[in-house]
Chains A and B, each alone.
Chain A
Amino acid sequence: SQQGEEDPQALSIQEGENATMNCSYKTSINNLQWYRQNSGRGLVHLILIRSNEREKHSGRLRVTLDTSKKSSSLLITASRAADTASYFCATVRISSGSARQLTFGSGTQLTVLP
C-alpha cells in the first residue's frame, strides 16, 4: 500500500462486541477519512477527522487521530452482523492541483458473527 498498514488485516468478533481498527500513514495530512466497502461494492464514506482534531464521534463510530504518531483508530461499538465489511482509512493532502486525492490504507476485513 502507498499509504501504510492497517491493523489488523482481518478481525472476527461476536455481535455486540466492539471492533477496533488501526491505521498508520506516512505523510503530512489535511484530514483522514474512514470508508466502508461491502464485498466488491462501492466505498461509503463513514467519518472524517481533520488534522487539528484528536477525536470524533458519529453514532456508534469513534475515530481518534494522533498526528505525532501518524496513526488513527476506528472504533465500532456494539457491532452488528450488518457491520461486516472491509474498512479503509484514507488520507488527504492538499496537492498541487485543486483536487484532493485520497490515499488509501490496505484495509481491515471485519466479520461480525451473529
Chain B
Amino acid sequence: AAGVIQSPRHLIKEKRETATLKCYPIPRHDTVYWYQQGPGQDPQFLISFYEKMQSDKGSIPDRFSAQQFSDYHSELNMSSLELGDSALYFCASSLVSGNEQYFGPGTRLTVT
C-alpha cells in the first residue's frame, strides 16, 4: 500500500539559508499535518491543511510557511534558518473523517 512520501530524507543547510520540505500524502487522503521533533523531544504540531486550506496552526514560527497544492502534496518552507531548527520534520496524512494519522519517514534537517 502507498505510504506518505517525504523528500528529501536528509537536508543540511547553513544558518540564515532557506529550506523546502515536501510531502506527498497517501492517495485520497484529504488532510495533511506537519510535525517537528527536536533531538530527544516529542513531536510538536506545526500546521495542518484540509482540502488545500490551512485548518489548524500550532507552534510554527513566523519564519516558516506551508501550503497544500491542487494535487494534495504539501510543502513546508523554512527561511532564515537557525541552529534550533535542526530536527526531524514529519508529515502525516489522514482522512478528515478518520482519526488515525499515517506518518512519513521524516526529513532530517541539520542547520550548521
A92 and B99 in contact, given A42-B105, A43-B43 (Cβ under 8 angstroms): yes
Contacts of B80 on A, CB cut-off 8 Å? none
A104 and B42 in contact, given A97-B50, A99-B96 (Cβ under 8 angstroms): yes
The distance in angstroms between the C-alpha atoms of A40 and B103, with both chains bound, is: 13
Interface assignment of B56: CB less than 8 Å from any CB of chain A: yes
Interface assignment of A18: CB less than 8 Å from any CB of chain B: no
Contact A40 B88 (CB under 8 A): yes
A1 and B42 in contact, given A31-B99, A99-B96 (Cβ under 8 angstroms): yes
Q: Is the interface of B mostly helix, strand, loop or mixed?
A: strand
Interface residues on A, range: 20 to 34
Contact B105 A41 (CB under 8 A): yes
Q: Is the interface of A mostly helix, strand, loop or mixed?
A: loop
Contact A101 B103 (CB under 8 A): no
0/1 string, B83-105, CB within 8 A of A gives 1:
00000101010101001111111
Contact A44 B103 (CB under 8 A): yes
0/1 string, A1-18, CB within 8 A of B gives 1:
111000000000000000
Question: B8 to nearest A CB, angstroms?
Answer: 15
- Residues of chain A touching chain B, judged by Cβ–Cβ distance below 8 Å, are 1-3, 30-31, 33, 35, 40-45, 48, 88, 92, 95-107
- Residues of chain B touching chain A, judged by Cβ–Cβ distance below 8 Å, are 4, 31, 33, 35, 41-45, 48-50, 54-56, 58, 88, 90, 92, 94, 96, 99-106, 108
